[in-house]
């Protein structure tokens, strides 16, 4: 049986949209990315899953997709691409329906010394699924 996590990953990697934007499918991961992996990359998490109907046939979850890139501009552009991928359809036998999305470009972070950490953008969505 498919999980909500596998359905979301299928949604994000469907077609060639992310690949064409420079994010290979193997750089779309659940939870975290290894620090040594190439950029850009996309990670996602599912939280706050709860029944959305009294008979528990429909669930509601919060989805957070994090885009990690070299520059803030690249992260912003990829966040727009990711936001366009969050759409109603059936993925891995699970029907997903987003009911709200938002996007935030995170402020640049300074690492050790004067090095810049990778830029990040976050796309959040509330999704209904069954």
pLDDT at residue 66 greater than cutoff 90: yes
Residue 25 DSSP one-character state: G
Residue pointed to by tokens 């300074």: 110
Asked if 105 contacts 72 with a C-beta cutoff of 8 angstroms, the reply is yes
Q: Which domain holds residue 33?
A: 4-129
Q: pTM for the complete prediction?
A: 0.89
Cβ neighbours of residue 73 closer than 8 Å, sequence gap 6 or more: none
Query: Which CATH number is 15's domain given?
Result: 3.30.2000
Number of domains in the chain: 1
Question: pLDDT digits over 16-51, tens only?
Answer: 899 999 999 999 999 988 877 889 999 999 998 888
């Amino acid at each position: 049986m498919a999980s909500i996590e596998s359905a979301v990953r299928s949604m994000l990697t469907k077609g060639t949209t992310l690949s064409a934007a420079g994010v290979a499918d193997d750089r779309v991961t659940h939870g975290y990315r290894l620090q040594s992996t190439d950029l850009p990359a996309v990670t996602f998490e599912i939280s706050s899953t709860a029944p959305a109907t009294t008979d528990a046939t429909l669930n509601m979850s919060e989805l957070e997709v994090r885009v990690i890139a070299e520059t803030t501009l690249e992260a912003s552009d990829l966040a727009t691409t990711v936001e366009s991928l969050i759409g109603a359809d059936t993925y891995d036998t699970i029907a997903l329906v987003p009911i709200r999305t938002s996007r935030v470009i995170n402020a640049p972070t300074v690492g050790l010394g004067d090095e810049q950490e990778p830029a990040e953008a976050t796309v959040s969505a509330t999704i209904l699924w069954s």
